Structure formats: C-alpha cells, structure tokens
C-alpha cells in the first residue's frame, strides 16, 4: 500500500530530534510525512498541498499562543496538538477549537499511532460527508431548475393557443368540408405525409388519399404541395 493511501501528515515542531524521530516512526507506519519548523512553514505547506493530518507543537515559533488554531480555515486538515509544557489554558483552548487531540511529550508512540489513525479516518469520513452534501445540494438545484423549466413549458400553450390551420382557408368554402375531411386537413397541416395522417387517424392510407382528392377538388388545388401552401398561408406559385 502506498504512503499516500495511508495518509499524508504535516509534522510541525522546532525540536529537531523530536521531528526526526516522529517523522521516521510515521513513515515506518506507511504515512507520507512533510516536516516544517515554524508557523509560517505550516501556512506555506498547507497552501501548497492537501494533508490528512496536521501534528503541531504549541511552543514553536509562530504558534506560541496557538495562532495557527486561530487562523485555521475550513479546508485545513484535522489537528493533533503536541506539547512538552502542558497547561490547562492551552488544553482548553486547543480542544474547544479545531484540535482533535492534545498530547504531551514525550509521546507514547504506540498510543500516538492509534490516535493518528483514528483522527485521519474521522477526517476522511467528515470530508466524504461534506462531499455528499455538496452533491445532494447540486442535484437538488438541478431538480429545481428542471421543475421550473417544466412549469414554463406547461404554461406556454395556455398563453399561446395552437393555431387552427383551417383559419387560413377563409373564402374557400370550408363549410362544405365533412368532419372527417377537416380532421384529415388538420393532421396533414401538421404532418404532411399520408402514412403519418393514416396512423394518427387510424384509417387506411387509401382512405386518406381519397379524402385528399376530395379536398383538392373542394379547395381548388391540384397537389399536396399546393394544399400545404394553402394551409400555411404561403402565396401560390405562378403556373
């Protein structure tokens, strides 16, 4: 298993011996470890890349008053505080803030390893929860957009009623057309193909053609093209 899969840890301490021993211990456990020695180093490292855990000393340049905990942003990794000079005030401040644990040097490394594993696992679970919430929020927003579009499309026909193609036949003695011829004419205006009209009216293509011939005669046209132009209000083409 790669070190990145186990976890990536930022280790911050100005004690060179502690830094080396703890770094080597964590690496043997399969973690990827980056070391820094002061507060500005922590900020720069987090700016460069993502970590699964920050292990940070209190009595370190740039963090003597837990300034890093005060600066902590939402996207920072979970934090374990370590110190060789524990006080009630720093423990309360750390644990009431973003720190997940407060450990006293010298570390009991087996216990430290268990705490590191637990905090990294909890941090990943929290990250998964946040990501799932983001996905749910995004999907909900998409649903709302689709519902709004559906409402607009449903409302549109009520505001703009469909035009009756027979309205273009004023002056062509529409009153002489039979109800079935009117049906054929309306379907033909929308779907000008014999098979389509036949399927929609559930009559045979032969019957559709018979009705069309009757319509040609009554409306004074000689072809499907002329009939379609009449229905759409286009001017007749010169002979």
Backbone angles phi, psi at 224, to 5 degrees: -65, -35
For residues 63 and 39, the answer to whether their CB atoms sit within 8 Å is: yes
| Domain annotation covers residue 160 | no
Domains contained in the chain, number: 2
| Domain annotation covers residue 147 | no
Place of tokens 């004023």: 170
119 and 172 part of one domain: no
Helix (H, G, I), strand (E, B) or coil at 81: strand
| Domain annotation covers residue 152 | no
| Domain annotation covers residue 215 | yes
Question: Residue 198 is part of a domain; what is its CATH number?
Answer: 1.10.10.10
pLDDT tens track for 210-223: 989 998 888 888 88
205 and 119 part of one domain: no
| Domain annotation covers residue 237 | no
221 and 175 part of one domain: yes
The parent domain of residue 179 ranges over 165-232
123 and 25 part of one domain: yes
pLDDT tens track for 96-148: 777 889 899 999 999 999 999 999 998 888 888 888 888 888 888 888 888 88
Rg over CA atoms, the chain: 39
| Domain annotation covers residue 221 | yes
């Amino acid at each position: 298993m790669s070190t990145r899969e186990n976890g990536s840890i930022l280790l911050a301490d100005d004690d060179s011996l502690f830094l080396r021993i703890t770094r080597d211990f964590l690496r043997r456990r399969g973690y990827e470890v980056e070391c820094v020695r002061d507060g500005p180093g922590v900020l720069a490292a987090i700016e460069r890349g993502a970590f699964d855990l920050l292990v940070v000393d209190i009595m370190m340049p740039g963090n003597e008053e837990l300034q890093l905990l005060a600066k902590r942003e939402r996207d920072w990794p979970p934090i374990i505080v370590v110190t060789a000079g524990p006080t009630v005030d720093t423990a309360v401040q750390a644990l009431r803030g973003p720190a997940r644990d407060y450990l006293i040097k010298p570390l009991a490394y087996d216990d430290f390893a268990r705490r590191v594993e637990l905090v990294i696992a909890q941090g990943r679970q929290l990250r998964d929860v946040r990501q799932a919430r983001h996905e749910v929020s995004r999907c909900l927003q998409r649903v709302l957009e689709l519902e709004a579009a559906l409402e607009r499309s449903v409302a549109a026909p009520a505001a703009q009623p469909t035009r009756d193609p027979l309205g273009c036949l004023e002056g062509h003695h529409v009153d002489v057309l039979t109800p079935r011829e009117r049906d054929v004419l309306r379907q033909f205006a929308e779907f000008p193909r014999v098979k389509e009209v036949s399927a929609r009216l559930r009559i045979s293509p032969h019957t559709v053609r018979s009705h069309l011939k009757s319509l040609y005669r009554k409306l004074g046209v000689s072809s499907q093209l002329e009939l379609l132009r009449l229905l759409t209000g286009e001017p007749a083409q010169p002979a």
